Structure 1
Amino acid sequence: MTEYAAAVSVPLPDAAGRAIAASRVLDTAAPDPYRSGHWTLRAGSKVGAVSLVVPGGDSVTVRITPKVPVARLFFLIGYSLDPRGWRDGDVEVGDHDDLLPALAHAVERQVDRALRQGLLQGYRMVEDSALVVRGRLREAEQIRRRFGAALPVEITYDEFTTDIAENRILRAAVERLLRLPGVPQDVRRRLLHQRVRLADATPLVSGQELPTWHATRLNARYQHALRLAHAVLDSTSPDHTVGELRIGGFLFNMNKLFEDFVTAALREAFRGTDRTCRLQDPHHLDEAGEIRMKPDFVLYGPEGAPRAVADAKYKAEKSGGYPDGDLYQMLAYCTALGLREGHLVYAEGSAPHAAHRVRHAGIVIHQHALDLDREPADLLGEIRSLARRVSPGVTV
């Protein structure tokens, strides 16, 4: 399947069709009323691969490819995670044109580069019961657990080890990729080698938050690998069980990815100016504060008042134009924030810019279209042009 492509009729057993419908991976999955034994399938904004094991043991794999080139997709991901440190070409996708093989290849290459000088070591706080005092005594825990006994003692100390957050995150990403369908055998073999190198790192528990790490001079060689690992681990993960249906896979939500890229690039464009940018800024439409709204991007002036608002929409312009609902949403943002202009940013379109003046309100709503097929430098140039439209009086 291809994201947002037209619906297709596919021959599928009923059990497989029902499994795809239950997974909600696709926007449309329903029996074809005109062809017996066929299902009508249509992909939405999610891209990636999902394997579904239906009752009885049969399996079906759904692969959804993005409309943009895979290398461009990785640029959007990398720039969203680190606008100042990421460059086009930092991710090597090899000869793979499909998303999952390219992702697995890229992660393995970055992990290999990170580990060439050996595993990173650092200090980790350990809480333990021991017969000798090492580090600091946990007095409250000693009283609570030992009831006045002298031994063993409850202590805490800092251990210099390879079992740190950075290595645990890399191991979790490698293991996640090894569980996914469609990883080429040569890439899988290299991933298994990386897992062996990371064997001393404690596996992460599924469902728990990722351990925190901070970019420093000491972990500089790990940082690209860690950001790609976060992209793997933070993605829409359908790994779960629905009744007797087992689902496992890897999905990117292109709506979220485009929103993250646009807002991160706009914030970077205004860096160094006297403007303040807030992403997903919470506000209320009504005076009672009951109707919540969260514009993707709000620009504030030096005095702290809103100066501009923008919303990113990963939608292609159709013959009838963009959806009217987007205009109504932006009108509400402008009204609540007291702004005379608002900006909607779309992923593609036939015209780079359009403006609509609202009757009896004096509010102008601008619609901009970004061409994601352009080279990264040109795409960022479009963002800077957009920033100048959003705030004409600021040099970016």
Structure 2
Amino acid sequence: MLATMQIILQLAPFLLQNLNSIIIAFNTLLGLIVFLRMMRHTRAELRNAPKYTFWHKLGNLTSGTAYSFSVACTVTFVFALISSMIAVNTLYYIQFRRPDLANFFQLIAVFQFPTFLPLVMLFMAVFAIFYSLFEYILMARDSADAPMEIQRWIEKTFIDRFRAPWSWFMAILVFFVVVLLTPIITSFLSVQYWSYLPSNARTWIVILVFLLWIMMGPIFFLSYYSQIGIAQAYFRGKKSNLKKNKKTAFFYYIAILGLITTVYSFFKILILILTNNLDGASNPLEAQGAFWPVVMEFIRNNSDLFTEVQIQTFLAFFAIVPTGFSMFVLTTCIFGLLGFYAKFLSKEPLNTPKMVLFAAYIITGIAFSIFINAIVNFPYAFPTQFLNSIGFPLDTRDLVDQQILLRIFAVPLLVEKSINLIFLINFLFRKK
């Protein structure tokens, strides 16, 4: 036992110095495991897909790889982002409330993933751009139906009016206008409107607005399927005996939570924008709001339920762990995937490269939605050390820069929440 302790003490400086690399390696290993499992899954799904030519085989391999990579990136991104949030919240909590624990700063700081997070987000954004191009080109093919109603509307309204090769030209033109030209114009108008922007930040603002527009595509489809999942779980729970069917009861109560958060989050961001109250939060104690401190103060003054030490422990937990955000992640992941598999894959199984790529596109929407919500609600939590090293001038820990980011991200978030609410109302009251 003593020899083991001595070995640990000898290795402690090395482990501490290389802990960030070890954690990134572990996260990468997790992504690799998910990737391999998804590759096995897609190979099984594509076993009946055409394999007659080299291009058939290449399409199957490419789509399976893209889907597996998207799932792996999404899983690792969500874990890394929540880890970074908890780490930053802990650092702020120690700084403002427990300076006696300052010796743990170096240990906690390695869980922020300043390089891993932006690179994974960039990879998924690039995939979303190329998938959008592939989607529009696919619409130009004869007898090729798009997977969703809105895509079929674009296909019939603009592309199917022409024959090849003009249909291909029209597809690329629509892609250029919708996916490329619109965000470029929007970003340049934003830069002109926000005259207070630092001159060295303008180029990056254009890039951010462009990427946010790209993210809205998969977020739209994710919203569609997630609200279907919530509505189906809600109606199924109302018709079932929840005391006997525990699984249905679990999804029913999570669906109710999803209903509440969908409505609440819409009005929350709407009020923030209408009142122009987009001030940043410099630390987790501000970002989490005053709800839990008020609750604990009420308990302290009117009850002996908890001791003072327990109250301080609860306050520390709620300041460090983003409970509300975690509930959002839970409902987004569960019902986004539940709705997608129940509504879409029940009719269109993943047995063609087109369907597999569309599934990968929707999976990226989970990461994009979580990313946008994180920036608006916890702007300080996204690490920018790597971005600063390549010329990105904004610092998410600076209040002025937080306000710039909030003004950029608030409108896309309002669009997402509006889409969620519209779909939810539609599926609850019109399409039961």
Instruction: Return the TM-score normalized by structure 1.
Output: 0.23
Higher strand proportion: 1
Higher helix proportion: 2
* Relative contact order higher in (CA < 8 Å, ≥ 6 apart): 2
